[in-house]
Every structure is written in C-alpha cells, then in structure tokens.
Structure 1
Amino acid sequence: MYALAQALRAFRNHPTSALATLTTATVSFSLLFLVGLLLWNLDRIVGSLENELEIVAYLKDGADAQATMNKIRSWPEVEKVELITKDEALALLQLDYPYLAEASDLIENPLPDTLKIRLIDPALTRQVARKLTQLSAIGPGNVEYGGEVTEKLVRFLAGLRLGANILILLLIIDTFFSVMGTIRLSIENRREKLRVMLLVGATSGFVQLPFLLEGLLLTLIAALIALAVGNLAYRYVAGMLQNLLPFLPILSSTDLLNASLGLLVLAIFIGFFGAWLSVRTHLRDTEL
C-alpha cells in the first residue's frame, strides 16, 4: 500500500509530466492497436482470396480430357482437378443468358472443355500455370488465373506491413522513453528523501517499488483507454464494411480479445521495464 500511495502521490506532484506521458502512451497504444488490427484483417482478406484461387485451363479440340486430368493430378502442387465439358459449360451459360438456348440449335457449340485446378499452395499458381501452357492438350494462351491480382495484393500487404512495423517500433520507443523521463523526474523530486530512507535501513527494493508501480500504472491506464477507443472504432468501421461488402472477412470477438491481451502485456512490459531502467540509471548517486 505504501508503494501504491507513493506512486499516486508522484502523479499529483508532477501532473504535467504524468499527463504528457499518459497522453503519449495512449496515442501510441491506440495507433499500435488499430494498425495491428488492420494488418491482421488484410492478412485474412488475402488469405481468403488465395483459398478461392483457381486456375482455369481450356483444352484444345480433340484433346484427351481424362488423360490430361490424370497427368495434372499427378503433380505434387495440385490438390483438385475438375472437368467441365463443353456441353456443361454451354448449359451454365444458358442459365445466365436464356436467349442463347435458341441460338444453340442453329450453331455448333463453340465452347471448349475446361479444367478447373485448385492448388495445395496458392503461391505456386504462376509456376503451375506455366507448366499447363507446356502441355500439348492446352498450349499457350489457354490458361487463366486470378493470381496477378492476388500477387499485387500480397506485395502491397508486404510493403504496408514493413511501414507499419517501423511505425509501431517508433511508437514503442517514444512511449518507452516518455515513461523513463517521467520516472526520472519523480526520482529527482524525491532524491533527498530516498537518501534518508536508505540511511535508516530501507532496502533498495522497497525504495524502487513506488517508481516501478508509477511506470506500470501510466502504461496500463493508457492501454485501457486505447483498448476502449480502439475496440469501439474497429467494431464501428467493421460493421459499416460488413453492410457494404458482406463477403469481406472481419476479426471475431475472440480475435479482438487476443489482440487486447497482447497490448496489455506489451503495456506492462514497457511500463515496468522503462521504470526499472530509469531507476537503475538515475539512482546511482544514492547507490540504489
């Protein structure tokens, strides 16, 4: 109780510094939390696109569809191969455009037999697409896939992740040194009192504990405020996006809980370690 009372008294003794640190930490944790959720959600979206990615290969007239399917199935990259015959393709097209049913009686079916290929690893799409064009039953120009769009998204996400990680690192460093500065001011204001306490037999751990609690309280309060704001903001934006684009995956309540716990752990580490390092650095004159 003594350590907690001393930590709270330190807030009253230098409120400007404590408020500045609290504000810095709150802004930093809010940005860190929201940027982390954004990256996590983008990962989910790209992963969802990759899972739906298929290669479509059009067979040449007269090609042996079954033999081609068996050959493609033997490739280690391939998970599934599905054949859509030209008659099935025409029937599907007529479902979308009923007026084509009349024209089909007048002309020969121009559609080719089609193979839909799903891979074990979507990252191998381009490689498998090149292999397909080398098959005599398919040939160049008869392979289509959405891999180019997905690859651009993956590259964009990689660049965004790098920039976000740099921002997160700068925010953590800024918060860390802000905590250290506040604890240093508390030490300077109480240096003479600390010397007296040591002279009368107080242990170094007893003397240091109020400063550790002060740093811990600063970052914990900031993290709780950031989590309240961040969760509300994310749920609001995610709800709007779900109404506009219901197919987009969003983070679940369990995901938000895990992210919140992660931020609390980080806040505890920054507050405690920043205060401990400041104590070790700035109390040497009192031999703590």
Structure 2
Amino acid sequence: MMYHLRQALLAMRANLTATFSTLTTMTITLLVLGAVLLLTLNVNRTLQQLEAQVEVAAYLKDDADGAALLTQVRALPMVTQASLISREQVLTEMTRDYPYAREAADLAGNPFPNTLRMRVARVEDSRRLANAVQNLSGVDGVEYGAGYVDPAVRTLTAVRTAGYALVGLLLLGTLFNILNAVRVAMYARRNEIGVMRLLGATPAFIRMPHLIEGVLVGFIAAALAVGLLAVAYLELSQRVAQFVPVFPIITDLNTILPILVGVGLLGIVIGLIGSLFATGRYLRELE
C-alpha cells in the first residue's frame, strides 16, 4: 500500500497543473453544492413556516349547505385540515381586531358569510385547492393570499431549480477533469505500465496508484470545501439572524452537520469514480 501511495503522490507532483485544475474545480463544485443544499434546507424551512400561516378561505353563499361542503373539502387529497366557521364566529374574530365592527353589524347587519377554512400539506397546492373549491356549488369566493403566496413559491422553486442545475453541470465538469488528470498521469507512465504488464502485473495493481490519487484529490477538495463552507455559513447565518430576525435561517449544528459530512463524502466518492472510469478506459485501450 505504501508503494501505491508513493506512486500516487509522485503522479500528482509530476502533473501538478492538471492536479491543481482538478482540485480547484472540485473544491468550487463542492462549495456550490454545499451552499445549494444549505440554501434548500432554509428554503424548505421557510416553506414550512409559510404552510403553517397560509390558509385557504372559501366564502359560502347564504343558502349553502356548510356541513356538506365541509365533508367535500375534507375529502380532497391536498387538504390537511378544514373547519366551518359561522358568520357569528367571523364577526367575533373581526371585533377583536376592529372593535367598531360589532357596532356596525348591529346597525347594518352581519356582513360576513359562513366560511370554510382549509390548510394544505404543501404551500404549492394552495392555488390548486382554491380552484377546486371555487367550482363547488354554494361557494361564493375563495381567498388564499395569492398576491404573496404565488410569487414566494415561484421564487423559492426557481432558486432551488437553478441551484441544482448549476451543481449538476459543475459535477459533470469535475468528473471530466478527474478523467483527464488521471489519463495524463497514466499516459506519462505508459512505458512503466507496459513493463508492468509484461511482468504480469494485474490491472488492479496498475490502477491502484491512480485510484488513490483520485481519492486524495477528492479528500483535499472536500476538506477545503467543508471548512470554507462551515465558516462562511456560520458567519452569514449570524448576520442574517441579527439584521433579518424574521427570516427562519437554520443555525442548529445538528441539522447542518449531516450536510457538511455528506458534501465531504461526496468529494471522495467523485474522486474515486472519476479515477475508476479513467483507468478502466485507458487499460481497455491498451488491450
């Protein structure tokens, strides 16, 4: 094993430019990947809070059968909770916020209709539920805060999609860099590899130094990326929590740590996979 490790280090030093290029690309890729995962984690937390606040309200006509409509909406798959609020209850709630509402109702009558209030499992389902309930007989109108819910969902979804697309492209580029770096190293040692084959060395013995090289590059890139990511995220999260306290940014280390560990392991796996493909392809070309 020490022989293979020594050969891997020699190959990395002999192809310093290719190794540095691969290391830089992989570090950037893992940094972006970790940032996207942490961003997605916070986006999901934001969506959860949004889901807890978003309520779809269906205003019923005076002659509507509220109990029957309540049974119908509870049967919809996207509904997690539904309740029927009488017009008197609505007036009582409004009176708490607007004390003069009761006096106005005494003079002109209760203007509020019976209301169905529903919650959804996912905030993205709010519009779909509103459209479905709007078509029910006896429903006069539906409100769910479309002015802020729809733009928020579109923005958060776009951020996640763009992040995943960028990470995918960077991962692909990193794999190609590793393939090229390992192939250059093997080509530089082509005479030595030819002698080893003549002496009966197995493909596994020939490939081992280059596999170690890929794992070493992946490990170094992972260590750099995780260290930079942890410091930057903790600093940024503290500033966000200080200046924008309403934003539910995650600062719990028990929640963040699995992502950092996963990013580190992914770097090592990418290095290993890239080396496996490169060495396997090169040896097949020699046959």
What's the counterpart of residue 215 of structure 1? 214
* Equivalent residues in 2 for 1:17-36, closer than 5 Å: 17-36=18-37
> Structure 2 vs 1, CA of residues 126 and 158 (structure 1 numbering), >3 Å: closer, same or farther?
closer
After superposition, give the CA deviation of every residue in 1:234-261 in whole Å (9 maximum; x if it has no partner): 2222333333133525374344233233
SS across alignment from 2:246:
coil
Where does residue 154 of structure 1 map in the other structure?
153
Q: Which residue of 1 aligns with 2:144?
A: 145
Q: What residue number does 2:277 align with?
A: 277
Q: CA deviation at 1:32?
A: 1.7
What is the letter of the counterpart of residue 230 of structure 1?
L
- Cα deviation, residue 106, structure 1: 7.7
Q: TM-score, normalised by structure 1?
A: 0.80
**In structure 1, what residue type is equivalent to 2:246?**
P
Counterpart in the other structure of 2:71: 73
- Are the aligned partners of 2:127 and 2:146 in contact in 1 as well (CA < 8 Å)? yes
- Shift of the 68–16 alpha-carbon distance from structure 1 to 2, 3 Å rule, reads same
Aligned residues: 281
Instruction: Report the counterpart of residue 224 of structure 1 in structure 2.
Output: 223
Q: CA shift at 1:130, angstroms?
A: 4.3
8 A Cα contact 2:120 2:126, kept in partner? no
Match of 2:38 in 1: 37
Could you tell me whether the CA contact under 8 Å between 2:31 and 2:229 is conserved in 1? yes
Contact 1:50–1:150 (CA under 8 A) maintained in structure 2: no
* Secondary structure, aligned partner of 1:117: strand
Please give the secondary structure, in 1, of the residue aligned with 2:112: coil
Q: CA deviation at 1:207?
A: 1.9
Structure 1 residue 197, shift from structure 2 partner:
3.0
The question of whether the paired residues in 1 share the 8 Å contact of 2:63 and 2:138 is answered with: yes
Instruction: Please tell me whether the aligned partners of residues 87 and 109 of structure 1 are also in contact (alpha carbons under 8 angstroms).
Output: no
Identity rate, percent: 30
**Could you state the TM-score of these two structures normalised by the residue count of structure 2?**
0.80
Conservation of the 8 A alpha-carbon contact between 2:222 and 2:265: no
* Contiguous gaps of at least 5 residues in structure 1: none
Aligned to 1:9: 10
Distance in 1 (alpha carbons) for counterparts of 2:28 and 2:147: 37
| Residue of structure 1 equivalent to 2:204 | 205
Unaligned runs of 5+ in 2: none
Q: Which moved more, 1:264-273 or 1:117-126?
A: 117-126
Deviation of 1:168 (Å): 1.5
Residues 119 and 90 (structure 1), Cα distance of their counterparts in 2 relative to 1, 3 Å cut: closer
Tell whether 2:190 aligns with 1:186.
no
How far did residue 171 of structure 1 move?
Answer: 0.5
Post-superposition offset of 1:30: 0.7
After the TM superposition, which of the residue ranges 144-153 and 126-135 deviates more from structure 2?
Answer: 126-135
Q: Distance in 2 between matches of 1:110 and 1:104?
A: 8
SS in 2 for 1:118: strand
From the superposition, tell whether residues 200 and 128 of structure 1 become closer, same or farther in structure 2 (CA, over 3 Å): closer
Paired with 1:125 and 1:261, the residues of 2 have a C-alpha distance of 35
Larger mean Cα displacement after TM superposition, 84-93 or 19-28: 84-93
